[in-house]
Amino acid sequence: MAEAKLSAAPPPPHVPQHPMASPGYGKRTAPGQRARSRDDFRGLPRREAEIAAFIDRLPEGADISVKMLAKVMNYGQCALSTALTRIQRAGHLRRGREQFVGPDGARWVTRTYFSRTAREDAWWEAFTAGEVKQDEGRSVSSDPPVIAEATAIAVAAAPAEDAPTVAAVPPEAVGVELSPAYLVLASVGRAHPAMGLSAQECVDLEPLAAEWLRRGASQEQVLCALTSGLPATGVARPGSFARSRLTRRLPPEIAPPSDGDVPESGAGRERMALRILECSRCGTPRSAAALSGGECPACRGLHPVPPALAPEDVSRYAADIRARTREAGPGVQH
């Protein structure tokens, strides 16, 4: 009886589900990253490396605001704000906005882009202009991704056996670029430990998740469908539960638009029309070329140097000052 009660207990407090941001917001993984390794954030100070590793392992759409991170990590908001600024200056993070245009008009959403691979300002400029391909800069590793103790970092060294379930990469997938459908399934266990899927379950469910994406669902919507409203008694068989959810909640087919409603891209739904970055300190939208380490010139303490005066202007101004001095009379102090 005691064992039954223990097995039915809810997950321990050190493996909570990390909150997701509002649909369309939250963390966005930058394209073309190298495979995970233990040296990803070696160039950062220890605190910044811990925070960067924690963010790296959060799923797409996770809330990585300073306020939310302070609730789940052993750092205050001031320390986190300083650390995120340093992470940004090192080239791992940028903040910005994207404009989406659809049949019903345009809308702006706020983005936070994260890259485990440190990027130079020029790379972020190319990314903003849409010149970076999804697989650009990606290196294939012969080893499975390294699983960092991100949750243990956030809650002060939890035991290894109590760490949240993370779906492993199947042997046949090592060295092969994984599909978006597989990646969102592999992230379910990090979003909600009770729904951790095995590598084989991710492979088996991949066609269903891919169908969701084909019908216009975002990765956040797939993740929400698999982790929201879970039974209070727990999930005995996450794989079967996920299959049932993906089947019963499958979104409808997108109706083909009429000829007059088809946007230039040929897609029947929203498309991204513009991406801009923001200064991390003042939040002012600026061109990527004007941001160094994610900060605008004003926030870096740089002020534009006024252009040099032409020789004739210098002579005219000097003559004007001498004339005003003479008019003021002998009482003027020189």
Q: What is the pLDDT of residues 172-226, one digit of tens each?
A: 444 456 788 888 898 888 888 888 999 889 988 988 898 888 877 888 888 888 9
Domain extent at residue 59: 15-253+267-290
Amino acid identity of 241? F
pLDDT the model gives residue 304? 54
Flag whether 2 is in a domain. no
Q: Which long-range contacts (CB under 8 A, 24 or more apart) does 130-136 make?
A: 130/275, 132/31, 132/32, 133/31, 133/32, 134/31, 134/32, 135/31, 135/32, 135/177, 136/31, 136/32
Q: What is the pLDDT of residues 294-307, one digit of tens each?
A: 888 888 876 555 56
Flag whether 6 is in a domain. no
Phi-psi map region of 156: left, alpha, beta (phi>0 left; psi -120 to 50 alpha): left
Q: Name the residue among 97, 124, 123 with its Cα closest to residue 111.
A: 97
How many CB atoms are located within 10 Å of the residue 255 CB?
7
Amino acid identity of 60? E
Flag whether 70 is in a domain. yes
pLDDT the model gives residue 25? 73
Flag whether 163 is in a domain. yes
pLDDT the model gives residue 306? 56
pLDDT the model gives residue 243? 92
pLDDT the model gives residue 177? 61
Overall number of domains in the chain: 1
Flag whether 9 is in a domain. no
139/154 Cα distance (integer angstroms):
29
Flag whether 225 is in a domain. yes
What is the DSSP annotation of 255-301? PPPPGGG--TT--SS-EEEEEEEE-TTT--EE-GGG-BTTB-TTTTT
Flag whether 134 is in a domain. yes
Flag whether 27 is in a domain. yes
How many CB atoms are located within 10 Å of the residue 44 CB?
20
Q: Which residues are paired to 29 by β-bridges?
A: 114
* Regions of the chain short of the pLDDT cut 70: 1-17, 23-24, 133-177, 254-268, 302-309, 328-334
pLDDT the model gives residue 92? 94
